[in-house]
Amino acid sequence: MDKGFKGWSSGLLGVLIFSGTLPATRVAVATFDPIFFTLARAAIAGVLAALILLALRQPRPARSDSRALLVVALGVVVGFPLLLALALRHVSAAHATVFVGLLPMATVMFGVLHGDKNPRGLFWLFSLSGSLVVAGFAMGQGIGVSLFDDLLMLVAVVVCGLGYAEGARLARRMGGWQVISWALVLALPLMLPLSLWTLPGNFQQATWPAWLSLGYVSLFSMLIGFFFWYRGLALGGIASVSQLQLLQPFFGLGLAALLLGEHVSAMMVASALAVALCVVGARRFAT
């Protein structure tokens, strides 16, 4: 099987898994404090990652990889989940998920800054077009009403893009699942005690959907999804495979409507479709 096809297949599976993150987070933060929720999902995933690494007797990363793993941990284990949870207290998952359309641009930019091959000019045109559609959507929804939360989402995209690019670079040497597992283990000594310290005193108000949402983001969004995503980025290239995440808003809008009953406007659908069309052009000129 072609290496590029393997990368795209793996990356697409990762995107499908990640598409449930925003709706699940929206459900969870209606019950749990966003800070506790962020700490708990990282702690649960970190314990599972440590058990997997021990069971498979994986060697410890080289000391020279510690800085890169720290960047991954700060970007995708702490930064993005926390900023996302804070924003989703006030904005709908349907609104927030369209901001994910900016992630491919951020990921590629950080990849280039870290020495990845610079794609051709037309790639940047298609990628920028997708990003502009996202920005236009936000302004069309009345960005001034939730300016702070939209800024949280934009910062979340930046730190996540950095974590994706750094993790993809490491995955070429270490393997995709090893990268996220070691990043989670690196954060575990901080995240586990803090999650216990912020543990709510009363869980009586916690609903089953909230618990299931916490379980989903801990097991799938924080761990298993990255197994496929980092593998896809490493095999297919950051510039090419990262554009698959332009499809995530489309999947996310469907889940938000199906699971949360959120209103999905014609503008949301049109924006998501326009962004998705940019995948074809960006893929064509990625190398």
pTM of the model: 0.86
Report the distance separating Cα 207 and Cα 109, nearest Å. Answer: 40
Q: pLDDT digits over 20-76, tens only?
A: 888 888 888 888 889 999 999 999 999 999 999 999 999 999 888 999 999 999 999
- Alpha-helix residue ranges (DSSP H) falling in 175-265: 176-197, 208-216, 225-236, 238-242, 248-260
Tens-place pLDDT, residues 254-270: 777 777 676 777 777 78
Q: Quick one: residue 143, left, alpha or beta (phi over 0 = left, psi -120 to 50 = alpha)?
A: alpha
Give burial (CB, 10 Å; 0-12/13-18/19+) of 216.
buried
Q: Domain count for the chain, please give it.
A: 1
Indicate the pLDDT class of residue 275, thresholds 50, 70 and 90.
confident
List, as one string, the DSSP characters of 156-191: HHHHHHHHHHHHHHHHHHH-HHHHHHHHHHHHHHHH
Q: Indicate the pLDDT class of residue 148, thresholds 50, 70 and 90.
A: confident
Domain containing 188 equals: 3-284
Decide: 236 and 62 in contact? Cβ < 8 Å: no
Could you tell me if 170 and 72 are in contact, meaning their C-beta atoms sit under 8 angstroms apart? Answer: yes
